[in-house]
Amino acid sequence: SPSSSSSSSFDTTALKECLTREYTGFFSPMELEFYDEAVSFVDPLTTLSSVEAYKNNVDLLAGRTPLGAFLFRDAGIELHGVEDTGPGALRTRWTLEMTMKALPWHPTAYFSGVSDYEVDTARGVIVGQKDYWDSLNLGEGGKYEKKDLFSGLKDFVGQLAPSNPEKSLRQSPGAQRKDPLLAVLPYSLLRRGRGYDVRRYPGRVCIA
């Protein structure tokens, strides 16, 4: 195992601070000194096995590559928390969004979930990362389960359809008529689950 026998006393502060900085700037820059050169990355759509491939993938989503600039705009990721989950293990919770500008109707896809990091405590570097989506991988009892590539593609492509019901739920005129102020208040999307959203709205005072 990459984690040494002294992993129980390993101080994860520097890694947590690194991840906080990276998420805040959408991994620009990506702090490569905190990653093993052969770091593995797995999410419902992607499997990678080098820090260069990892960085290229993030730059693609952020629109920092020619292909990414053609496909996406307004990409962003919000970090909700980072915690220790065991010796040599960290977990972040996040929300990711991106607009597919290559499609004429410019749909926005939303993902919320967690990233589980495996750490080599002898060197203090990340050697593996596995991402799970709330809408896809969250199973019974709050456990995250691996799903096949087809299921991941179905979740992603379903958000890009012109008649996507989730888009209608977020932007429907009916919702605005019921509560116009609520419709325009900024909010953080904490979780995009199967058929529901969990949001954090700012406090407000209403005078009727």
Q: What is the DSSP letter of 203?
A: P
Could you give the CA distance from residue 58 to residue 5 in angstroms, rounded to a whole number? 33
Distances (CA, A) of 49 to 42, 54, 66, 114, 116: 9, 8, 22, 19, 16
Q: Strands 188-192 and 125-133, how do they pair?
A: unpaired
Q: Strands 197-200 and 35-42, how do they pair?
A: unpaired
> What's the confidence (pLDDT) of residue 188?
72
Q: Which residues, in sequence order, are bridge partners of residue 91?
A: 83, 116
CB atoms within 10 A of CB 63: 20
Could you give the CA distance from residue 205 to residue 127 in angstroms, rounded to a whole number? 48
Question: Is the bond into 29 cis (omega within 30 degrees of 0)?
Answer: yes
C-alpha torsion sign, points 132, 42, 93, 119: positive
Who contacts 81 (Cβ-Cβ below 8 Å, separation ≥6)? 92, 93
Could you give the CA distance from residue 23 to residue 9 in angstroms, rounded to a whole number? 26
> What's the confidence (pLDDT) of residue 49?
96
Could you give the CA distance from residue 129 to residue 118 in angstroms, rounded to a whole number? 6
Structure tokens at 100: 């597919």
Question: How big is the chain, counted in residues?
Answer: 208
Question: Does an H or E element contain 81, and which?
Answer: strand 72-86
Q: Which residues, in sequence order, are bridge partners of residue 92?
A: 82, 115
172 CA to centre of own chain: 25
Q: Give mean pLDDT in consecutive 10-residue pieces for the chain, a chain of 208 residues.
A: 54 96 95 97 96 96 95 93 95 94 92 96 96 92 92 93 61 42 60 70 62
Q: What is the DSSP letter of 85?
A: E
112 CA to centre of own chain: 5
